[in-house]
Amino acid sequence: MKNLTLITGAVRSGKSLFAEQLATKYGGAVLYIATMPHLPGDAEQSQRIDRHQSRRPAHWTTVERPYDLPAAIAAAPPETQQCIIDCLPVYISNALLRACDFRDDAEPYEHEGAIFAEVDAIIAALSARDNVRFFLVTNEVGWGVVPETSLGRAFRDFVGIANQRLAAQAEEVWLTCVGLPLRLKPQAMV
């Protein structure tokens, strides 16, 4: 997809800031789709959301969509030229927790088909809006400790596979590390 740039990296590696810089560089009307739900009583999460919001120009449109991302993509206003989606792992976490009825004893791998159907729906929605340049922020979640729980391992596995599917579709893929963007796709000629 010529309209998709995938930006990945670790936590606090500069992914979101780089996506914002790219959208600013291209100019035009920007839609920011935020996937983080507001959790009552979570002060750290509220501070994180506030920090992200404070960086965005006032003229950008923000839509908070913890669920049904394909519908948010489809509903992007017609004047939208750039769209930042931040971030895919939070969205997958939301979908997985909802599929497991927010139970710790659920079997998360039973929901693999539903999670990847959601990823396929996101790809289809992005493809259908070929007049919009998308910057999709994601995380590399498999570079650390193996999660202790089945839910954590399923999340890690699902995000890793989703990242591969989206990277295969994207025209550009970037990895951010210590605030530095490294282009992975298309690869530079040596």
Q: Which residues face 8 on adjacent strands?
A: 175
In 3D space, the residue among 147, 165, 20, 18 whose CA is nearest the CA of residue 88 turns out to be 165
CB atoms within 10 A of CB 16: 23
What is the three-class DSSP state of 16? Answer: helix
Going by C-alpha positions, the residue among 10, 34, 3 that lies closest to residue 20 is 34
Query: Choosing from 38, 52, 59, 111, which is the catalytic residue?
Result: 52
Instruction: Write the CB contacts of 51 (distance below 8 Å, at least 6 apart in sequence).
Output: none
Task: Supply the Cα-derived Rg of the chain in whole angstroms.
Answer: 16
Asked if residue 164 lies in contact with residue 146, where contact means CB atoms within 8 angstroms, the answer is: no
Answer yes or no: 38 catalytic. Answer: no
Q: Looking at this protein, which amino acid is placed at residue 22?
A: L
d(CA 78, CA 1): 19
Omega prior to 186 cis, within 30 of 0: yes
Among all residues, which ones are annotated catalytic? 52
